[in-house]
Structure 1
Amino acid sequence: MSLFNENTTVEDLLALKKSALQAYLKQKNRKISGTKLELAQRAFEVNKEDNVCMPTSSVSDAREKGSLSDTESRSNSHVSDTDIISVDSLNSGWTSDTKLFPQISHRDVEQYLIYSSHRTEDSGKMECYRQFIRGFNFYKEGYIHNIMVNLIEKDSKMCYIRSKCYPSMKQGTYTQWVCLSKEAPYTILKAYCSCPAG
């Protein structure tokens, strides 16, 4: 079975040798120069183009294919910008009970960091490939700790998840939080990290 299919992630492609990425891109008549990360990003986009299929009914399928815009994704989550409560106002209600965490997937995070239009300077796609890969690797390597959720109120349509991250090179910790919808289709609405990379 080919690695290049609808479930392929950037992380999968980075596990390949640079020569394998170049061979794939050459086969697709695409540029083969650049760093391994650039080649993986290019191969990821080409593979997505090859495997895009229009969903018939599932919103989550559309989001996984990167075919829903950020506005469409937000409207399907039934949460608007004006509904979002500031994380700074949540002085209580935090818990580490994992049973209360929304069942957000790796694909949901991919949708936010790569395809959503949350960039500060313009409305283009974020395309945060490096942050997506490094963040997931930090989690797998045990850098992330003190993960907690705040459901805000019972009838609230959104919640916050926050955590601490040990820096890979320095002492101390960074703080992260993500605001997301409580129910499927799970949509990341906002996110923040106190690290210098943002």
Structure 2
Amino acid sequence: MGDRHEIDFFIGLPESEDHRVAELIPFDIVRNENSDNNNLELTDAQKSQRNSAGTLDIQNTKEWRQAEIPSANGQGNAGGLAKLYSLIVPEDNNLKLLKDDTVNQMTTMQIEGRDLVLAVQVRWGVGFILNKHKIIYGPIEGAFGHSGYGGSCAFGDPENKIGVSYVMNRMLDNFNADGRSIELINATYDCL
């Protein structure tokens, strides 16, 4: 699918593409008061994700990037992710990547509540986070996508027929509502 649509995103990065990868830079645990590994409300899964430096020692290896772990190590750039989402909600139906029924399942709330791994309140469609209170993925309630470890996010906006993405290599101890992505998302909507 990625080759056919020229989407610059991989699950299992080919060795030929490894030279394009920027190493991930860990967040500063000392200065971030939200990184309390002793917080009893955090699950073991959440605590394991808070050890950024140790985790990145593994994630910055060629072996990790080449492994096919769909839930944890997609490799790509913001343009590739934005293009993927724009093909899910295209202006031109001839470019549509998925059937309407599939997109409807992705954008219909299945469950809402505190995600035990992500440690945030989330509304889930099938496989995607739904925009809650118009704060995660811009001002459109119908937007859907996924935020990533360290502050990245990508989403589709079916109302405006656009895909938007923010990726970075300087990690934050944050899953959603990263100030860097929010500024870029707001600027995107200011241009529409």
TM-score using structure 2 length: 0.28
Of structures 1 and 2, the one with the larger relative CO (CA 8 A, separation 6+) is 2
TM-score using structure 1 length: 0.27
More helix by share: 1
